[in-house]
Amino acid sequence: MTDTLHITCPACQATNRIPAAKLAASPSCGKCKASLFPDAPFELDEARLNKHLRNDEVPLLVDFWAPWCGPCKMMGPMFAEASRQMSPKVRFAKLDTEQHQSVGSRFQIRGIPLIILFNKGKEVARHAGAINADQIVSWVRQNLKG
């Protein structure tokens, strides 16, 4: 029997079952055909975040940011580069804390940019402040060990 992973489509939110061995083959959603591992971080709102945390079996790194935040804007391209380097082992998403303020209190966000690494719905680690792509990749790898 092949090990399968549940992955929520970033486009239509359908839950997909993908054989673990086929993750590197750029799988697409069975419902809408969108890539399950897009080339860039995908946008989340609170409801979508909840669904990904509830269903996904691939680690998820979320960048909590706001459009008025200079360091957030500076880190955006670096976050996207780290996403390209780590896919499909980790999925990358962004959540605008200005538009979704309830998420800030739920996750006790005190400053942005803030990245939180989730694995199987649970918070594994968090890092506040802008860092470059290599630092993001290194930090994720360090926190997914064990």
Active-site residue, 69 included: yes
Burial category of 85 from C-beta neighbours within 10 Å (exposed 0-12, middle 13-18, buried 19 and up): middle
In one-letter notation, the amino acid at residue 108 is Q
Instruction: Give the C-alpha distances (Å, rounded to integers) separating 111 from 9, 80, 127.
Output: 29, 20, 10
Neighbours of 70 (CB within 10 A): 9
Nearest-5° Cα angle at 116, 111 to 121? 140
Q: Which of 9, 12, 29, 69 is catalytic?
A: 69
In one-letter notation, the amino acid at residue 20 is A
- In the chain, what is the greatest distance between 2 CA atoms, to the nearest angstrom? 49
Active-site residue, 72 included: yes
Catalytic positions: 69, 72
